[in-house]
Amino acid sequence: MKTKSIFLSLVCLLILFINSCNLFKENPVKAKNGMVVSASEIASNVGVEILKKGGNAIDAAVATGFALAVTYPQAGNIGGGGFMVIHLANGKSTTIDYREKAPLKAFRDMYLDSAGNYIPKLSQTGVTSIGVPGSVAGMIYALEKYGTISLKEVIQPSIDLAIDGWKLNKWNKEHFEYYKDEFKKYSSSFKTFTNNGRLYEEGDIFKQPELASTLELIKEYGNDGFYKGIIADLMIKQINKYGGYITQEDLDKYKPVERKPIIGSYRGYKIVSMPPPSSGGIALLEMLNTLENYSFDKNDWGGSDYVHKLVEAMKYTYADRTEYLGDPDFFSVPKDKLISKKYAKTIFEKITDRATPSNKITHGKFTNFKESKETTHYSVYDKFGNAVSVTTTLNSSFGSRIVVEGAGFLLNNEMDDFSSKPGEPNIYGLLGSEANSIQPEKRMLSSMTPTIVLKDEKPYLVIGSPGGSQIITAVLQGILNVTDFKMNIKQAIDAPRFHNQWLPDKIFYEKDTFSKSIKNELVSLGYSFEEEKLDKRKIGMLAAILINNKNIFGAFDKRGPGKAVGY
């Protein structure tokens, strides 16, 4: 009897120990001076080293951005584009738009056949899907205007990583393997992502000498090292070889744009986010403004009523996204209306206690949702009080899958983010209207939502995510988990998520998000669910920093391979 009870006590102790280990795992990384959170531990370290040397958050963000192009090639990039939201310690907020642009030779119906049918593969893959890259120009602009150290210093660690190589992790290995057949289509891509034709293994050292040479030229000549000379020639040669559209004139004309952030408030917090050509900031605020009309109790989280309110706010917002959002340089976006509290009140008033069928919100075609691919978000905070939130992308994993021969970097397939034909969904099942139709030099609409939440005018939360159309709802839930449900930042970003994008009229959700009874309650309210690929479904992958009482807490989503590194 006695031995049995000792045994039971030991078992209990063991369970307690395991639980406390798990709880421990749930804790964010804590630091006093600065923090970088990215999808690659190596890249986060590169950023933190810059902070330690006295660089500010912008210096560290640019260093991390270049490092991600080396150590997270499926999304980190120099051949794609991105958005950077900055909040400076002096109180100024700004954003830098380095989204790709449609080439000068682009035209509205470029992805339609002679009968007017949309040919998805033209906008989604290969040279025809490539937008004029913006990342290099955008990062250099940020560094020159808001950084404090030289391009040479911020780019050198990435050059070293590309020359000396770095150890592939499981995630890298699996991604290289998954896309091997795509890489086979282009000898330059196959050469880059295989070990002399064989698959790389976890732990192998991955070297990228051609990418290193490209980065050297950027280090030496800045923008001219990329948009002119040898690299530009190689890029254009590669694109022309397969019948693409980009010319030297496109590269000469590319300029990043500094834009005023989208600013709003939610329960006393100030929200600073990305304006068009991202739909992220506007959509995030439209949902937050709508939800502010409710008050949530701690116990509401995850219940059917909570899910119902969020999903309805998502539905109305994504319907507006489809209709009203596009590049503001080409289309007049009714921004002020969409982010006004008054407008949100009209949405709130339309929400009943049952699901509103999407086709009652506005007309649209039902579409199938495709699995999202890769983008990457990183968050930076420095000891001076500057915060930087960056989301950058090639669009799909490895973009167009085309590595520029001799230059070692991947080109994006961002043209698919345009609405190629009104009513036809893109890779994320998103619909669009005239607002996002293709025009030469226009920027394609994005969902990327790099965001900084301020409390008492000081950075409180730096957050963002990949995930295509699901980015905005992932960021929304990450924020709500902190502001309304007081979760620590690790729990807030790891918690299960769901998503609705108006069309299709279904709730997407991660495995284990809903219990059977919650699901039944939602069904009785009129909802249906998207069950396909539930086992593998991930809704976003948040990278966040929370600053509280002089402590800096960082966390990377359990859904991905990244790391928060602080000092």
Stretch (H or E) spanning 199: none
Is-cis flag, bond preceding 450, omega within 30?
no
SS3 state at 553: strand
Task: Tell me the two tokens of residue 558.
Answer: 């359990």
**Nearest residue (CB) to ligand DON, 36 versus 430:** 430
Burial status of residue 78 (CB atoms within 10 A of its CB: 0-12, 13-18, 19 or more): buried
Q: How far is the CB of 535 from ligand DON (least distance, A)?
A: 18
Q: What is the CA radius of gyration of the chain?
A: 23
Segment near ligand DON (CB under 6 A); pick from 346-354, 443-451, 485-493, 559-567: 443-451
Which residue type, as a one-letter code, is found at position 40?
Answer: S
Contact positions with ligand DON (CB under 6 A) in 200-239: none
The type of residue at 135 is S
451 forms part of the interface with ligand DON (CB under 6 A): no
What would the x/- binding string for ligand DON be over residues 468 to 487, using CB under 6 A? x--x----------------
For the question of residue 375 being annotated catalytic, the response is yes
Of 63-71, 103-111, 172-180, 461-469, the window that binds ligand DON (rule: CB under 6 A) is: 461-469
Report, in Å, the least distance between residue 372 CB and ligand DON.
4
State whether residue 293 is helix, strand or coil.
Answer: coil
Compute the least distance from the CB of residue 282 to ligand DON, in Å. Answer: 13
Check binding of 419 to ligand DON (CB under 6 A).
no
Contact between 395 and ligand DON per CB under 6 A: yes
Which residue is listed with tokens 């980190």? 76
List 393, 436, 437, 500, residue binding ligand DON (CB under 6 A): 393
Q: 189 or 391: whose CB is closer to ligand DON?
A: 391
447 in contact with ligand DON (CB under 6 A): yes
Q: Which of residues 348-387 bind ligand DON (CB under 6 A)?
A: 372-375
Pick the catalytic residue from 95, 322, 375, 451: 375
| Closest by CA position to 389, among listed 547, 197, 550 | 547
Q: Which is nearer to ligand DON, 68 or 471 (CB)?
A: 471
Only one of the segments 158-166, 231-239, 441-449, 528-536 lies at the binding site for ligand DON (rule: CB under 6 A); that segment is 441-449
Two tokens, residue 543: 């990278």
| Stretch of 146-154, 252-260, 286-294, 462-470 contacting ligand DON, by CB under 6 A | 462-470
Does residue number 317 form part of the binding site for ligand DON (CB under 6 A)? no
Report how many residues bind ligand DON under the rule CB under 6 A: 15
Judged by CB, which is closer to ligand DON: 89, or 534? 534
Question: DSSP string of 93-135?
Answer: EEEEEE--B--TT--TTTTB-TTS-B-HHHHHSSGGGPPBP-H
Q: Does 450 bind ligand DON (CB under 6 A)?
A: no
Provide the minimum distance between the beta carbon of 541 and ligand DON in the complex, in angstroms, as a whole number. 7
Can you name the residues that pair with 270 across neighbouring β-strands? 265, 454
> Facing residues of 112 across strands?
118
Residue 557 binds ligand DON, judged by CB under 6 A: no
Residue 97 binding ligand DON, by CB under 6 A: no
Greatest Cα pair distance, the chain, in angstroms, is 86
Q: How far apart are CA 287 and CA 277, in angstroms?
A: 18
Sign of the CA dihedral running 247, 188, 82, 90: negative
Name the strands in the sheet holding 498-499, side by side, starting at the edge strand that comes first in the sequence: 498-499, 507-509, 529-530
- The phi and psi torsions of 182 (rounded to 5 degrees) equal -65, -45
Q: Rule CB under 6 A: choose which of 58, 448, 474, 539 binds ligand DON.
A: 448
466 binds ligand DON, rule: CB under 6 A: yes
Tokens of 466: 């990949």
Q: Which is nearer to ligand DON, 389 or 446 (CB)?
A: 446
Please list the helix, strand and coil fractions of the chain in percent, rounded to the nearest 5, in that order. Answer: 40, 15, 40
E strand or H helix at 385: none
Residues of this chain that interact with ligand DON (CB under 6 A) are 372-375, 393, 395, 414, 417, 446-448, 466-468, 471
Q: Which residues are part of the catalytic machinery?
A: 375
